[in-house]
Amino acid sequence: MQGDLTTADEKRKTILIHSPDLNFCFSLSMLFQDRYNVITTTSSSMLEELVKNYVASLLIIDASPTEKLLGLLHHVKELNKQLPIIMLYVYSPKEAHLDRAARSEVDSVFYKPFDLTAMSKRINELLPT
């Protein structure tokens, strides 16, 4: 997990980023750290603990939808109904039913390769200053 919970700027909103790819977590963290507190994790179990025990303003998940991930998303929404969630993944027509299910659980989906400007704009909409 990256990000230091003890030095977080309490005036800033916090983005929690989950991806199995540590380099991707680091890249997004570098992109947003000038405007937000950023916490990253590659662990699904740690994600649940962070949502449960730490107040995040937004969650970004970099993972293709699976039944297990959809269950985790549903549980995260139960823990924090107000938490906006953005998902990033490669669309697969064979998994259209999972895409529809994911869209019902999250606030935004961006298909890879995604437009970074569009995602940043959506984050600004979900986290007004």
**Structural domains of the chain sorted by starting position, each given as residue range(s) with its CATH number in brackets:** 8-93 (3.40.50.2300)
The confidence score (pLDDT) of residue 118 equals 96
Q: What is the pLDDT of residues 32-53, one digit of tens each?
A: 999 999 999 999 888 888 888 8
Tokens of 17: 């980023």
The yes-or-no verdict on residue 58 having pLDDT over 60 is yes
The yes-or-no verdict on residue 55 having pLDDT over 60 is yes
The confidence score (pLDDT) of residue 64 equals 94
Binned at pLDDT 50, 70 and 90, residue 3 comes out as: low
The confidence score (pLDDT) of residue 6 equals 46
The confidence score (pLDDT) of residue 7 equals 53
